[in-house]
Structure 1
Amino acid sequence: MEDYDVSGYDIVSKKIKESLGLKRSPVAIKFVLKKEDLPEKIQEIDKAVRHCEMVTRASLGETFYATSEDQSCKGGAAAIGAGEAPEKIKTGEFYYDLGRFSSIGAAKRTLDAIPKIDMDIYATIYAPLEDATFHPDIIVVVGNPAQAMKLSQALVYTLGGRVKADFSGIQSLCADAVAGPFTSKNPNITLGCSGSRKFAGIEDEEVIVGLTGENIGCVVNALDAIS
């Protein structure tokens, strides 16, 4: 079993929440490759739901892990490495049938460009950042545009540059906010998708920011300096 006995994320989360004025917690996400590496103190989620719903539940205080069988949205699960996408999602037919695209070709090109984690993930751990007893691979922040702006300012505070937003209105909390930052090691801002707004309670005025866990200390220091 991997050692998940870490501390300090309660302070990190408090600083982020206070600096940005967030109404819910940043969500810490960690990928587990093997069953034997699951921590004993973290329990499996009580029922199968969508990944975006899991992010919302964690932002409101729950800590749990989910296997691929616990992921009810198979498209979202495939984006984060927790299973294979159904054929109709791979081809774009699913979204074409929903009326989101004018042609199968447009749908397929979009689905091909969506970030995906090319790993066989056994389970994904979700927790409010302040309760994380593990080093997160990804940290998801849900907030309003002004809060996302301030977070963007913190991201460029030390080295400068630009914050890029890469999205298509599909698979936002899975592909855009988790798979994209995990594979590119760059933060990403996404406007959400119909699924996350319908099922996960992402509000009309909210946007999502996906951060990598490796440099969260620099982000917090920058937020302090900007404040």
Structure 2
Amino acid sequence: MKNTNVWKMTTALDLQHRIVGLHFLDFQEDYDNCKAEPAALKGPYCYQVRQALDGKHFKVDKNLVTCDYARAAIGLEKPDISMREGRSFDYCGLAESRAIGKSIADAMMYIDQDIFGVELGPLEEMEHADLVIMVDYAHTMMRIMQGYTYKYGAPKNLSFYGNQAMCSDMTSKVFHTNDINLSLMCNGTRRYGKFDKGELAVSLPINMFDPLSDGIIETINAVQSVPEKKRLIKTLEHSNRPGCEENSAVGKTDPESLAQRPRTNDAPDFAGRSGKRNSLGLEIDTRYNYGKGLLAYDNHVLDLRKKGDNGL
């Protein structure tokens, strides 16, 4: 699903991993009917997510997720009361007191609903997805948040503190808030997921994926550096956009995508307000950045003031 925007985001951000889709399988019937095979190995939830980031497509139930805190966070089993009340965080040294441990546990937003299993895999291979997970470095997270802010304004539900990264930060919290969240990762995620110490994670509900893709594309000219823009132009010269598919926002709004012609930067495929656009849907301008735009606006305001504009 969403092949076009997966390609757009992967190309624009130069992602190092696949974009992962996550689909909750509420009942055993859903799990049994899911076409994905069970995970090849048991492992912590963060290990399973890493497998999906590396391109594997599979499903897991509680027997394939070996971390009890992860099973509790994503709804595969009910948490022990000491876990729910945060006593274990105090006991193990993650919180200074029981009260602080309780506040941490409450903020984890464990899923109360019974979930039989979870399907994980590259988003473009999924028939259905509830959440989207991406992992990359800080610069990429900056670009993702710039794209989010372009479409939605300031984020209001960011919550992370270096514990239960994949199961809580990237899954249960996003499920509860229906909003984007970042994660600094946790020791377990970095160890079992074999992530570099500089990598971060972001997750969002599937309904935000298409607008986020659009926001990232629309902010390229404003914030990308000249070398980054040139890298992108060169990439587009040797890369074709996927054809239209159901669930793609671009496929629904771009009639020319129906032709499924090869689209390159040398042969722009459709016109827009800024002139000819490439296969990302944007004319990349290496001469422009938002600093120039701000300067032009400031000069415009100064000119209006000199003319005695009463609104200023």
TM-score (norm 1): 0.89
Q: Residue 119 in 1 paired to residue 93 in 2?
A: no
Q: Residue 152 in 1 paired to residue 165 in 2?
A: no
Q: Residue 36 in 1 paired to residue 21 in 2?
A: no
Preserved contact between residue 188 and residue 210 of structure 1 (Cα < 8 Å): yes
CA apart distance, 1:209: 0.5
Preserved contact between residue 29 and residue 125 of structure 1 (Cα < 8 Å): yes
> What is the alpha-carbon distance in structure 2 between the residues aligned to residue 144 and residue 63 of structure 1?
23
Change (3 A) 1:40 1:114: closer
Change (3 A) 1:88 1:202: farther
Matched to 2:175, the amino acid is F
Pairing partner for 1:46 from 24, 40, 43: 40
Matched to 1:175, the amino acid is S
Q: Residue 171 in 1 paired to residue 164 in 2?
A: yes
Specify the SS of the correspondent of 2:8: helix
> What is the alpha-carbon distance in structure 2 between the residues aligned to residue 215 and residue 107 of structure 1?
32
> What is the alpha-carbon distance in structure 2 between the residues aligned to residue 30 and residue 36 of structure 1?
14
CA apart distance, 1:25: 0.7
> What is the alpha-carbon distance in structure 1 between the residues aligned to residue 79 and residue 204 of structure 2?
24
Map 1:1-227 to 2 at 5 A: 7=1, 9-38=2-31, 39-132=33-126, 134-162=127-155, 164-227=157-220
Change (3 A) 1:105 1:29: same
**Superimposed CA distance per residue, residues 107-136 of structure 1 (whole angstroms, 9 cap, x where no aligned partner):** 22211221122210011000012322x221
Matched to 1:114, the amino acid is M
> What is the alpha-carbon distance in structure 1 between the residues aligned to residue 161 and residue 182 of structure 2?
11
TM-score (norm 2): 0.66
Select the structure of larger CA radius of gyration: 2
> What is the alpha-carbon distance in structure 1 between the residues aligned to residue 181 and residue 108 of structure 2?
13
Preserved contact between residue 135 and residue 213 of structure 1 (Cα < 8 Å): no
Task: Give runs of ≥4 in structure 1 deviating > 4 Å.
Answer: none
RMSD: 1.7
> What is the alpha-carbon distance in structure 2 between the residues aligned to residue 188 and residue 194 of structure 1?
18
CA apart distance, 1:40: 4.7
**Superimposed CA distance per residue, residues 1-23 of structure 1 (whole angstroms, 9 cap, x where no aligned partner):** xxxxxx4x332222111111111
Matched to 1:62, the amino acid is K
**Contiguous gaps of at least 5 residues in structure 1:** 1-6
Matched to 1:183, the amino acid is H
Percent identity between the two aligned chains? 24
CA apart distance, 1:87: 4.3
Preserved contact between residue 39 and residue 64 of structure 2 (Cα < 8 Å): yes
> What is the alpha-carbon distance in structure 1 between the residues aligned to residue 106 and residue 157 of structure 2?
19
Preserved contact between residue 78 and residue 112 of structure 2 (Cα < 8 Å): no
> What is the alpha-carbon distance in structure 1 between the residues aligned to residue 27 and residue 140 of structure 2?
36
